Structure 1
Amino acid sequence: MSRVVSTYHQRVAQEKRALILSAATALFLELGYARTSLARIAESSGVSRATLFKQFPSKAALFEAMVTESWSSAEEEDPPPRGNIVEGLGIIGRRYADLLSRPQMTDLFRIVIAELPRFPELAHAQFSHGKMPYFESVRGYLLAEHEAGTVRVEDVELAATQFLGMISNYVFWPTLLVPGWEVSADRVAQVVDEAVRTTTARYAAPGPGPSTND
């Protein structure tokens, strides 16, 4: 019985957490980071102040949770299979494009950019709690492939940056600058495929040459 009760309370806590994060994102976008209070977020999300403070003791902690939540779903996916760089990069590329296409990601970057002059710590949170952990997962994949001999990459940080940049520069960044910018699913697939081809052409280890006995 106690396990059932515990599971119920966990589910309720997760639901309230999701409500808080959703309300916080909307208010941060509408009012800005400085003018949004935890009390107002509690009211908007329909939870008590005690419940909100129990989950997020400060506004900075709430923002960091937003960042982690926005980036973490892709990190929790199973790692791509090893030994096939085309397949592996394809999986990573599609996950990244899907991540960047979510509305909350665009909202998050807009908050950081708008508040950067007054709250540079928001950019630090976005980088250290969001982008960097995701980037490290991609870098780790390339490093493992390099050690396995599938690719030859002297600078895995540069290679990971190049690969992710080819995708984000088309799929994501224009959404912040160009009103109505939309990319079809077919176009996203093409962008990812081209990024995979370019990276593979640059870094894939050459296969064994023809046998001298042939």
Structure 2
Amino acid sequence: MTPTTSAYHRGVASAKRTLILTAATELFSELGYDKTSLARVAERAGVSTATMFKQFPTKADLFRAIVLQFWDAGTDPGGDASPEPGDPRAGLLALGRRYAGLLRRPGMAGLHRMVIAEAPRFPELARVQFDLGKEPFFELVRAYLGTEAAAGRLEVADDVRATTELLGMISNFVLWPQLLLQEWAPGDAEIDATIESAVETFLARYGRG
């Protein structure tokens, strides 16, 4: 097999994977986790069941891939790297905007609704959403706060509490109202104003002047 042929097959496999993830996301949102079968996902995606099972042997594998796709900060500006230390305001604004961008991705609210609805019967879904989705970004922010605190630019005694407070101020405006209010759709200016307010409030509490 030539390198060109190999690249072609990888491209085809990647395209089919994207179709499968899109179809599964739609079906999980429409039908719930329990009533969505891999065969139904394959049919919606327009791929064979053999291709379906080759890409994702189990429904749990498929759900994990969806969560990772939703929370992949590497596809956003700035990637998944921590901001350069030295200017807490600039760094926190960058992280806040990155977080809001993740929460505003199409389907993110639907993913949360589905996980919450299915959690009593499938608690592992909530664990996957937390461990592979929210927790890595939380740890990125916590590590950044620790770096700035160690350099004396922030005064943070409890980095877990501080991280929770910062991200909570953003998600409480950007994401959580969407879970109950279908019409909730604040614009870019409103989102940015919320992030700036959250950062200023945070710095008023934890900044070193």
Q: Which moved more, 1:5-14 or 1:131-140?
A: 5-14
Rounded Cα–Cα distance in structure 1 between residues aligned with 2:14 and 2:152: 43
Which structure is larger by alpha-carbon Rg, 1 or 2? 1
- Equivalent position to 2:141, from 116, 138, 147: 138
1:156 maps to a residue whose letter is D
Letter in 1 for 2:139: E
Cα distance, 1:63 vs structure 2: 0.5
Counterpart of 1:41, as a letter, is: V
In structure 2, the residue matched to 1:211 is none
Q: Distance in 1 between matches of 2:6 and 2:87?
A: 43
TM-score (normalised: structure 2): 0.93
Question: What's the offset of the Cα at 1:18?
Answer: 1.0
Q: CA RMSD in A?
A: 1.5
Instruction: Establish whether residue 12 from structure 1 lines up as the match of residue 9 from structure 2.
Output: no
Unmatched 5+ stretches in structure 1 = 207-214
Kindly indicate whether the alpha-carbon contact (under 8 Å) linking 2:73 and 2:98 is maintained by their aligned counterparts in 1. no
- Aligned residue number for residue 187 of structure 2: 184
Q: Please state how far the C-alpha of 1:43 moved relative to its aligned partner.
A: 1.1
Give the conservation status (yes or no) of the 8 Å contact 2:86–2:148: yes
CA distance in 2, matches of 1:53, 1:141: 40
Counterpart of 1:172 (choices 171, 175, 194) is 175
Q: Give the drift of 1:74.
A: 5.0
Flag as ranges the 4+ runs of structure 1 deviating above 3 A.
74-78
Gaps of 5+ in 2: none
Q: Which residue matches 1:194? A: 197
State yes or no: 1:95 paired with 2:98. Answer: yes
Tell me the residue number matched to 1:2.
2
Structure 1: which amino acid aligns with 2:186?
V
Taking structure 1 as the reference length, the TM-score comes to 0.91
Structure-1 residue corresponding to 2:29: 29
Deviation per CA, 1:3-26, whole angstroms, max 9, x where unpaired? Answer: 322322222222111111110011
Give the length in aligned residue pairs: 206
